Structure 1
Amino acid sequence: MSVEDDPNWYLAEQDGRKGLVPCNYISFRPNPWYMQACPRNTAEECLLETDPCTGLPVQPDGAFVVRRSESNGPGFSLSVK
């Protein structure tokens, strides 16, 4: 899904069909793996966090965070444990 020139409409695709949808028909569900304004070191801290009681890692191996890139304007960065 991407925003067209008019921010009140979204270009959406479902079942291979594409079309414009008014923004008030769309609701975005947050994903726990997406952290929009998150610097690299914060993403790494989240992935390497340990439980204070057990000392065990909170996140399993293979856990990941997608965030906005700090160096590539519209791009994204992926941090993986």
Structure 2
Amino acid sequence: MESVGNGGSGARRNEDIALDLLKFVAGSTGFGRAAVPSTGFSGSAAPKPEEQVNQLLDLYGRCLTVVNGKGGKA
């Protein structure tokens, strides 16, 4: 039986795989998380929410490119 919403095309499946890849990369690297205050010097100020969203969207685009097999380097 075919799942609802797939429509038989591979495009939705690739998008789901790219989203899972994004979640894995972001979760394992701490990408997109707010900076935790610590003692001593800090490298830079915490990025603004708009910048974080743009970075996550860029990472998703890179993940989708890799899943589609169109990019050797991401």
Fold-level similarity (TM above 0.5): no
Q: Which has the higher strand share?
A: 1
Q: Which structure would you say has the larger RCO, counting Cα contacts within 8 Å and 6 or more residues apart?
A: 2
Instruction: Please indicate the TM-score interval, normalised by the length of the shorter structure.
Output: under 0.3
Q: Hey, which of these two has a bigger chunk of helix by percent?
A: 2
TM-score under structure 1 length normalisation: 0.23
Structure showing greater Rg: 1
